[in-house]
Amino acid sequence: MKSLRGKKILILGGKAATVNVVQLAHKMGIETHVTGIQEGGQAKEIADFTLLAGSEEHDKLMQYIRKNHIDGVMTGSAEFQVQEMIKLCAKAGMYCYATEAQWQATQDKRNFKDLCKQFGLPGVPEYSANGELKEKDFPVIVKPVDSCSSIGISVCYNSAELALAKEKALEASASRNILIEKYIQNGGITHVVKYVAVDGEFFMEVMGDRYVLNNGLITAITFFPSFNTGRYMKTIDPKVKDMFLSIGFNNGVFFFQAIPDKDDIYIYEMGLRTGGGMTYKITEATSGNNDLEMLIHYAITGEMCEEEDIKTIDPYLKGKKAASLAMPLRVGTIAKVEGADKIKIIDGVVNFTHFCDEGDTILPKHVNTLSQLYGRVMIVRDNKEDLIAGLKEIRNTISVKDTEGNDMILWDTFDHIVETI
């Protein structure tokens, strides 16, 4: 990529979600300016300069951009921040990989399902939100059309649960619209599929197998590459280019969430952004490409990367095996954390990000959302056996206890998976 040394970038959001953006920008030689509504925050603490302003305060931010000769605007994976980045860049005349129209076409779950249907991408069977379901229709999953991080989502096994789930989803939806879909019972496995777009060409970076927490909705662990990579590339990948070209999307990144059901792979939603799962850490450590770096490069230059950078992309990760291990917590207050400082020195660990600290409390409302996680570890090894051994070492190294001395990390799903895959 072209050198960006000496350039300046404004990063929206001063908390943990943008720490990796600040760190990578520094690595690229870029001067970082981080804005947020709070004085502190993990990203602000490592930035070159900070600004006390919300991402939606566009007039104030545009004045700051002009005064400080900012070259580009960027953010992390939070949907609110991405939306504000799109709006701010449009007003300030700066490069942004997405438009508001593209965002609405893909991030509203109703719009996205309709778009997929138009281009023959298989979607999860759904039911009318206003119709009556029969006993044979259950279980179903109910979700807001316009929320993220698993907020407002419920699985229902009967009509009584459905009525409560509808209210929960409606409360979480800004537009007061919901979806009701068939709940696929396949042992709790879903897929994540990551893409890079460069000048109208679309490259699948990686596909992973995500295992959901027992009796939950959030991911416990993801393995890369997916066992379904070949089938997906043969049946679904060819249709992706036409769909995204139809909305004028030429440069940027996006990811799909999909679910296997016997011989089908259903696409059920997507993100027009870099994911919170930070798969770029894994692709950089294996294939050599980093899509977050590409987005930062685009924000300043209007170009994603050089042709040589594209050639490194390999959805099979050059034969290596990788995993992203989440650490979901049970309800309670974190009193003591041990072993966290040792995680990063375990062989093959390419990233360890923690979201909670001692004194933080996991409330019932956080369950089944990303706020339930203590942290996430990414590890790369040469083969499956070595990968499993590394995961077990991580599991035996970290300890999070509550005020009564009880373990808070929910390991049962992990323990079952690593013994059976």
Looking at the structure, tell me whether residues 163 and 221 fall in a common domain.
no
Looking at the structure, tell me whether residues 72 and 146 fall in a common domain.
no
Residue 361 lies in a domain: yes
C-alpha to C-alpha distance for 304 and 196, rounded to whole angstroms: 9
Looking at the structure, tell me whether residues 170 and 194 fall in a common domain.
no
Beta bridge partners of 207: 193
Angstrom CA distances, 102 to 95, 274, 285, stand at: 15, 15, 31
Buried b (16+ CB within 10 A) or exposed e, 203-225: bbbbbbbbbbbeebbbbbbbbbb
Looking at the structure, tell me whether residues 163 and 286 fall in a common domain.
no
pLDDT given at position 124: 86
C-alpha to C-alpha distance for 162 and 137, rounded to whole angstroms: 11
Residue 108 lies in a domain: no
Residue 111 lies in a domain: no
C-alpha to C-alpha distance for 248 and 314, rounded to whole angstroms: 25
Beta carbons within 8 Å of 38's beta carbon, 6+ residues apart = 14, 15, 44, 52
Beta bridge partners of 326: 376
Residue 42 lies in a domain: yes
Residue 117 lies in a domain: no
Looking at the structure, tell me whether residues 88 and 155 fall in a common domain.
no
Looking at the structure, tell me whether residues 166 and 231 fall in a common domain.
no
pLDDT given at position 200: 95
Say how many domains are in the chain. Answer: 3
Looking at the structure, tell me whether residues 312 and 257 fall in a common domain.
yes
Three-class secondary structure assignment of the chain? CCCCCCCEEEEECCCHHHHHHHHHHHHCCCEEEEEECCCCCHHHHHCCEEEECCCCCHHHHHHHHHHCCCCEEEECCCHHHHHHHHHHHHHHCCCCCCCHHHHHHHHCHHHHHHHHHHCCCCECCEECCCCCCCHHHCCEEEEECCCCCCCCCEEECCHHHHHHHHHHHHHHCCCCCEEEEECCCCCCEEEEEEEEEECCEEEEEEEEEEEECCCCCCEEEEEECCCCHHHHHHHCHHHHHHHHHHCCCCCEEEEEEEEEECCEEEEEEEECCCCCCCCHHHHHHHCCCCHHHHHHHHHHHCCCCCHHHHCCCCCCHHHCEEEEEEEEECCEEEEEEECHHHHCCCCCEEEEEECCCCCCEECHHHCCCHHHEEEEEEEEECCHHHHHHHHHHHHHHCEEEECCCCECECCHHHHHHHHHC
Q: What is the CATH number of the domain that holds 134?
A: 3.30.1490.20
Give the residue from 253, 299, 239 showing the smallest Cα distance to 96. Answer: 299
Looking at the structure, tell me whether residues 357 and 294 fall in a common domain.
yes
Looking at the structure, tell me whether residues 274 and 178 fall in a common domain.
no
Looking at the structure, tell me whether residues 261 and 407 fall in a common domain.
yes
Question: Mean pLDDT in runs of 10 for the chain (421 residues)?
Answer: 93 92 97 95 96 97 98 95 97 97 91 93 87 90 80 90 92 89 85 96 96 83 96 94 95 95 89 91 96 97 93 96 96 96 97 91 90 94 97 97 96 91 81
Buried b (16+ CB within 10 A) or exposed e, 162-201: beebbebbbebbeeeebbbbbbbeeebbbbbbbbbbbeee
C-alpha to C-alpha distance for 160 and 148, rounded to whole angstroms: 25
Boundary of a domain, candidates 134, 159, 182? 182
Q: What is the CATH number of the domain that holds 77?
A: 3.40.50.20
Boundary of a domain, candidates 141, 160, 182? 182
Boundary of a domain, candidates 96, 117, 139? 96
Domain range for residue 147? 125-182
280 φ, ψ (degrees, to nearest 5): -65, -25
Q: What is the CATH number of the domain that holds 274?
A: 3.30.470.20
Looking at the structure, tell me whether residues 210 and 265 fall in a common domain.
yes
Looking at the structure, tell me whether residues 216 and 358 fall in a common domain.
yes
Residue 118 lies in a domain: no
C-alpha to C-alpha distance for 367 and 151, rounded to whole angstroms: 10
Q: In what order do the strands lie in the sheet with 361-362?
A: 361-362, 332-338, 399-402
C-alpha to C-alpha distance for 251 and 129, rounded to whole angstroms: 35
pLDDT given at position 148: 65
